[in-house]
Amino acid sequence: MNTNIKKINLEASSVEDAIRRVASELDVPESYLQAKIISEGKGFFGLFGKKLQLEITVNPNHIETEKTEKTEKTTKKSKTIKEKPEKTEKQEKQEKKEKQEKQDKKEKIEKIEKIEKQEKLIDSDEEAKLKSIVMNNSIVFLDELIKKMDLNISAQIMDNHFISLDGEDAAIVVGKYGDTLKATEYILNLCVRETKDIPRIRLDSDGYRDRRTSNLQRLAVSTARKAAERGIPIKLEPMASWERRIIHITLQDNPKVFTESIGESPERKVVVMPKVNHNETRARPRRRPRR
């Protein structure tokens, strides 16, 4: 380390001015300079400021110390980097292999998802085409049947599984209690539906379904009231599946009764049963013992 100390003598109006001048000339920080006042001169009759004789000491040890500290920090940092253990060739190969396996797995999953998506689109398109074919065949079948029955009725597709029969003779197709309409619907599904994957085709004529729905809802409410009051199950008449469904839906939130379907089609029917409240059991009269 350099121990030479450089001293500069100069005249200045203040210590700060002297240090600032020397730091600018030598291009060193002012903190490296020390000033010592040798003598103070007096101004001429107080008109001019006094002049100071100064000795400025430049200590190069400060500069060397700073350089040494920077060098030590750099060396320490490089040592830290070197101290970090280097990966072996085997470890690098293993990491590369794992990374490639992850990438292959990701690409495989994306490929499978893409294929499944395409298959779903194909299946949905084929299902839509199949439904369309079934509905068109249904219209052809109904037109031929109506023609043979010599009725003034036309068949129209309302949605993908619902057909409405409208015209002057629409009431004739309904029949008593909807029996003719139900029979026509049953025959239609037997002849046209080749697979159970296609929803069952429903028929309506002269607004029968809406009227039947309202009647079934009223029937469900009145039957539920009777079953709850009497405490006994009540069986309803045999119904089609969509009619039974209306009964079940109408009474599903009723706190006093519950419903079940029993039997086999076409005699399948709904039973409305009261819910037993064990906290309100009736006390049965005691029988006299036989003598």
146-171 average pLDDT score: 87
Residue ranges of the chain assigned to CATH 3.30.1370.50: 209-278
Residues of the chain with pLDDT > 90, as a percent, come to 20
CATH 3.30.300.20 range(s) for the chain read: 132-206
pLDDT, residue 54, reads: 73
Name the CATH topology of 132-206: GMP Synthetase; Chain A, domain 3 (3.30.300)
What's the CATH number of domain 209-278, 3.40.50.880, 3.30.1370.50, 1.10.10.10, 3.40.50.10540? Answer: 3.30.1370.50
Each residue's pLDDT tens digit, 60-94: 655 555 555 556 666 665 555 455 556 687 788 88
Position with higher pLDDT, 14 vs 185: 185
Regarding pTM above 0.95, the answer is no
Asked, as a colleague might, if the bond just before 266 is cis with ω within 30 of 0, I would say: yes
Find the mean pLDDT for residues 113-129: 67
**Lowest-pLDDT choice from 118-122, 159-163, 205-209:** 118-122
Whether the per-residue pLDDT at 21 is higher than 70: the answer is: yes
pLDDT at 229 over 60: yes
Better pLDDT: 129 or 196: 129
The confidence score (pLDDT) of residue 283 equals 42
Q: Would the pLDDT of 43 be above 80?
A: no
Calpha distance 141→191 (Å, rounded): 9
256 phi, psi to nearest 5 deg: -105, -20
pLDDT of residue 262: 94
3-class secondary structure, 13: coil
What confidence tier does 263 reach under pLDDT thresholds 50, 70, 90? very high
What's residue 259's pLDDT? 96
Residue 232: which pLDDT band, with cuts at 50, 70 and 90? very high
108 alpha-carbon distance from chain centroid: 24
Residue 62's pLDDT is 54
- pLDDT, residue 226, reads 95
| Distance (Å, whole) CA 67 – CA 155 | 101
Distances (CA, A) of 280 to 167, 233, 276: 56, 18, 8
Helix-strand-coil split of the chain, %, nearest 5: 55, 20, 25
Share of the chain above pLDDT 70, in %: 76
Q: What is the CA radius of gyration of the chain?
A: 52
Q: Where in the chain is the domain with CATH 3.30.70?
A: 6-72
Domain made up of 6-72: CATH architecture: 2-Layer Sandwich (3.30)
How confident is the model over 182-206, as a mean pLDDT? 84
Which residue did the predictor score with more confidence, 194 or 192? 192
Q: Is the pLDDT of residue 8 over 80?
A: no
**Model pLDDT, residue 173:** 87
Instruction: Name which of 74-78, 189-193, 237-241 the model is least confident about.
Output: 74-78
